[in-house]
Structure 1
């Protein structure tokens, strides 16, 4: 069921439901209990979304994105991306499904609930079977009671059943798939005549022509608003020049981190974990008698993936306990140890290879230590200067005085538009890149600087708007020659278009492409055979409108259109249309069928959501969510 639902997980509705199902069935380290309060976050009829439910779901989003990026994903980033609202909608939809199940009188039996929980690997012991102790420990680590987890699991199974019931009635008629596949795979090729605009002769424009062209294209000749400003940058890069990493600091850092900088001994191990000591001893006797280690592991129900532990250090074996880890690292290469008691049962180790540990010297570690110390000192310096800046600003100091107090340069830019360009269209250098800087600049009034502003990356800036040069149209006299170039290019394009239309009419009237091309002083080209689904291959020469016309015309049909480079026009005649046989075994055919299924599935889900929201009373309390997020611990 879940695999089928994943194929349709393109809408936020289904993505949200899957997240709720997967996360609640597989414990992945959600930090609960960080939100509190008795207020209802949302409700559908008499089904409530509690603060605790919202807290777990929101924290899951943070954990998931942090894991995906490898960096901590903050609450501020989540709110800026709208995840707080997405979590709300997922929970509201889940509550609506719960209400629908309630109204239909649906329920999940204890036997089915137990069967579902017993299936998850997270709750299985070393023998591969459900282990009640492992189950309770996993829930305890997440601060969830068995009652709460099992209640939520019942809800989630019901939700999946409802969605599965909707999906079960969806069928994509094979005739539609075949028709769409045949249409997309139809192959065409065309013969064409190119009429380049560069070859067109046009009269010299008069001043009146140029002025009229200028008046009709004033948007083209408009200059955007430009702003002049002063700013101070406070970030790690600026602070780097203000900190000094001494040799004593490096030596002290090395002494404190020597153990973590060194590489521990590592071993390629094989291991068999057996719950019963007697069975473990019997397995060891088989290995001593010449039996293959992995074969004995398979007999004990241990897969090769579980038995083979390459590149393990002692820390990696901590889950087995100190005694077992010590034995694994006391054996000689190639040796098989006697069964040793561990936290998970009796373990038999075999050592395949040993990679000795390495102690990193001070000289070897120095570059990394210098970098780490520099970054740490720069961060401290940044915080000190940020505090100093806030104090100076609170006292009413000018931006110049703030810069002097901080010992930082006050930079000035005479003119920049909202694209970050100067009056010549060149990117303004040394300006903070974040969009927030430009947003702040173009939201200020002249002479204004407010406070230290976060750049959204690794520091702050202080920004004062000095002057505004409003948007304006460039004077005709100043850009007359530019207007002349544009007028001439447009005139040549119009002439090329007119010639292309005349050529097309002659071919439609019975003239051959060759005769029409010869009369125009050019030649006939031929496109490669291209399937409709790959028509974008022609976009290097033909405009989109021309490509669409070619694939809409009948055989021998004549069309004309612009080039993709705006440097002329084409006349094209469809030479051949070849329907391709429908092959239902191809990956393309299966992909098309699947995409149509998903489209119908998502449409069905969206309609069901609309029905639920129209049937039941839905309330949301965004203010409560804001309060909960504000209470979250850093």
Structure 2
């Protein structure tokens, strides 16, 4: 039967056990047949290649489930996801190293309690079931010892992290002071003047005017310290036209990734298992009668929605329950229907259409992926040769003429522009380089490499007036317009201070009430609201902008209502944000300290080997 649920799942956070179980089991274990060594280490604690491979494949699976599109390891690397995965694993290894150093561990009793809380290991009665535990681990390719070791480590990390970040609080007096400041408002009236309100033309600036304005605003036209750089570089994109991929290889890649390109119709499903068919029927009847809903049933069992989540499933995943689940719409509950753990109700939270991509349709994406991968491998294979040439006395110009590397020049002052300056690795390298430094081969992050030479350091200096003449003329004209408008506005403001209202002064005013400090008001110069908050009731002020002037009269200062819902909401946000910021800062400092004491090593060759295995 199809039962209309009262609502879809609420947004929820996985708990510690849910995260661990999702990471190790939710997408299945990776079959990684490469090196059994490590890709990184913190002190003597290693990040195993197997764990890195599994984490990458889990990311691919998550993204594919979220987007319904095929994702390759190349896509992850291009987006920098592989580095994010590595950073997370290195952080975990840092915590493991520290936990081991101080002797922090988790006993069998705590481990057993946490195993019992994982929904996938529970039987129909909601209690830990060893057969369900063994079955789940077996299906995921994990041994009990391996999973329990990881669970102990994750729990120790959680305890260590919790001890660092728990408990930061702000004093109530500080909260009250900030809320009183943030929640007060102003009522005011204003009118704006712009160039159209002038009764005279703005003259063209003389050469003397331009020179004076240029001199008075020289900071605007000053070039920062700049390094004149010559570089040689090569990226996978530069080599794509030199790489050919055969039809047989394309078809082999398609067949290998066929499940990514052809996905059956799927559903995002939650499942609540019951001890008997009668109990399941009773629950279904109460939902149909409107006496309860799916979430209430879950809470009554002492479970979280995370414990019922099956994720994205196909008909094959659901077995005998497939027809019932696929016959209901989004937000509806199906069942009772059979499951491997007993009769169950299933709630459908989303419907995902089947995706079918033929070989011909997938061929362009496959070719692009394989070409870029082949280009990366070619660059990686030649990187040591590039370095050897430099060591042997070759110049960057020699590299460009004798290899696939291309020569370029740039005046670099830290800007993030196009080409090589868009790569963080380039900026980081140039920042520490000086004329005469030996050029070395450095990775760019997308599989490319470069070597650079600082030819000259140009000190901070003003750009010549002739080079910035148009900007200077525009700046002078805006300033002159503002000055003329200010003179006119001061006359009108004096009239208002003398008792005239805005209309009598020939202005068209706007009145605003309850304006907060963070409000942006159209028609007012930038920063005008902040200046209004510095005024006293009844004051009239002229607030200049760029080519615009506002006349403002403050009508009323409205103190914060400390008992209002708004004030309470601001206080809650302030406390939470401050606690999170403090906790994040403490944790970052803690991990940085661990890594500085233990030392961090990353094996780039091992990382590339894992990526190659996952192609």
Shorter-chain TM band: 0.5 to 0.7
Which position in structure 2 is the counterpart of 1:243? Answer: 243
Which position in structure 1 is the counterpart of 2:146? Answer: 143
Once the two structures are TM-superposed, the CA of residue 241 in structure 1 deviates from its matched residue by 0.7
Q: 1:625 aligns with which of 598, 602, 606?
A: 598
Tell me if structure 1 keeps the 8 A contact 2:229–2:452.
yes
CA deviation digits over 1:548-606, x for unaligned, max 9? 3334444432122113xx1132221134667898885x5x4552242254368679989
Which position in structure 2 is the counterpart of 1:457? Answer: 446
CA deviation digits over 1:214-259, x for unaligned, max 9? 44433233234555544333211111011122334445555x5386
Residues 450-459 or 228-237, more deviating: 228-237
Tell me if structure 1 keeps the 8 A contact 2:232–2:451.
yes
Question: Hey, what's the Cα distance between the residues in 1 that align with 2:268 and 2:487?
Answer: 79
Q: 2:409 aligns with which of 413, 417, 424?
A: 413
Q: Helix, strand or coil: the match of 2:389?
A: helix
Question: Hey, what's the Cα distance between the residues in 1 that align with 2:373 and 2:421?
Answer: 22
Question: Hey, what's the Cα distance between the residues in 2 that align with 1:66 and 1:228?
Answer: 41
Tell me if structure 2 keeps the 8 A contact 1:54–1:91.
no
Once the two structures are TM-superposed, the CA of residue 387 in structure 1 deviates from its matched residue by 4.0
1:124 aligned onto 2:122 = yes
Q: 1:436 aligns with which of 425, 428, 443?
A: 425
Which position in structure 2 is the counterpart of 1:377? Answer: 374
Tell me if structure 2 keeps the 8 A contact 1:25–1:117.
no
Question: Hey, what's the Cα distance between the residues in 1 that align with 2:152 and 2:422?
Answer: 46
CA deviation digits over 1:401-444, x for unaligned, max 9? 22232245x33336555436xxxxxx6x6445213324434544
Tell me if structure 2 keeps the 8 A contact 1:189–1:574.
yes
Q: 2:540 aligns with which of 558, 567, 572?
A: 558
Which position in structure 2 is the counterpart of 1:9? Answer: none
Residues 483-492 or 397-406, more deviating: 483-492
* CA separation of 1:467 and 1:461: change in aligned 2, threshold 3 A: same
TM-score (normalizing by structure 1): 0.59
The 5 A counterparts of 1:96-107 are none
| RMSD of Structure 2 on Structure 1 (CA) | 6.6
Tell me if structure 2 keeps the 8 A contact 1:201–1:492.
no
Which position in structure 2 is the counterpart of 1:424? Answer: none
TM-score (normalizing by structure 2): 0.61
Tell me if structure 2 keeps the 8 A contact 1:227–1:465.
yes
Which position in structure 2 is the counterpart of 1:510? Answer: 499
* CA separation of 1:451 and 1:349: change in aligned 2, threshold 3 A: same
Which position in structure 2 is the counterpart of 1:573? Answer: 553
Tell me if structure 2 keeps the 8 A contact 1:263–1:359.
yes
Question: Hey, what's the Cα distance between the residues in 1 that align with 2:594 and 2:96?
Answer: 14
Tell me if structure 2 keeps the 8 A contact 1:446–1:465.
yes
1:524 aligned onto 2:507 = yes
Tell me if structure 2 keeps the 8 A contact 1:188–1:551.
no
Which position in structure 2 is the counterpart of 1:12? Answer: none
Q: Helix, strand or coil: the match of 2:415?
A: coil
Q: 1:595 aligns with which of 573, 598, 615?
A: 573
Question: Hey, what's the Cα distance between the residues in 2 that align with 1:89 and 1:381?
Answer: 37
Q: 2:531 aligns with which of 549, 552, 575?
A: 549
Question: Hey, what's the Cα distance between the residues in 2 that align with 1:264 and 1:593?
Answer: 48
* CA separation of 1:198 and 1:394: change in aligned 2, threshold 3 A: farther
Which position in structure 1 is the counterpart of 2:386? Answer: 389
Question: Hey, what's the Cα distance between the residues in 2 that align with 1:597 and 1:451?
Answer: 49
Tell me if structure 2 keeps the 8 A contact 1:269–1:312.
no
CA deviation digits over 1:109-166, x for unaligned, max 9? 97x99767644435423442123565688795573658994995799499689957x9
Tell me if structure 1 keeps the 8 A contact 2:187–2:514.
yes
Which position in structure 2 is the counterpart of 1:312? Answer: 314
Task: Give ranges in structure 2 of 5+ residues lacking alignment.
Answer: 1-12, 30-35, 65-75, 289-293, 328-336, 347-351, 608-615
Which position in structure 1 is the counterpart of 2:234? Answer: 234
The 5 A counterparts of 1:167-566 are 183-184=183-184, 186=185, 188-192=187-191, 194=193, 196=195, 199=198, 211-251=211-251, 253=253, 257=256, 260=259, 263=262, 312=314, 314=316, 316=317, 363-408=360-405, 410-413=406-409, 415=411, 417-419=413-415, 430-441=419-430, 443-446=432-435, 450-475=439-464, 486-487=475-476, 489-515=478-504, 517=505, 523-533=506-516, 536-538=519-521, 540-563=522-545, 566=546
Question: Hey, what's the Cα distance between the residues in 2 that align with 1:232 and 1:37?
Answer: 29
* CA separation of 1:477 and 1:249: change in aligned 2, threshold 3 A: closer
Residues 133-142 or 528-537, more deviating: 133-142
Which position in structure 2 is the counterpart of 1:320? Answer: none
Question: Hey, what's the Cα distance between the residues in 1 that align with 2:603 and 2:60?
Answer: 20
Q: Helix, strand or coil: the match of 1:219?
A: helix
* CA separation of 1:601 and 1:84: change in aligned 2, threshold 3 A: same
Tell me if structure 1 keeps the 8 A contact 2:230–2:452.
yes
Task: Give ranges in structure 1 of 5+ residues lacking alignment.
Answer: 1-17, 42-49, 99-106, 318-324, 421-426, 518-522
Tell me if structure 2 keeps the 8 A contact 1:271–1:307.
yes
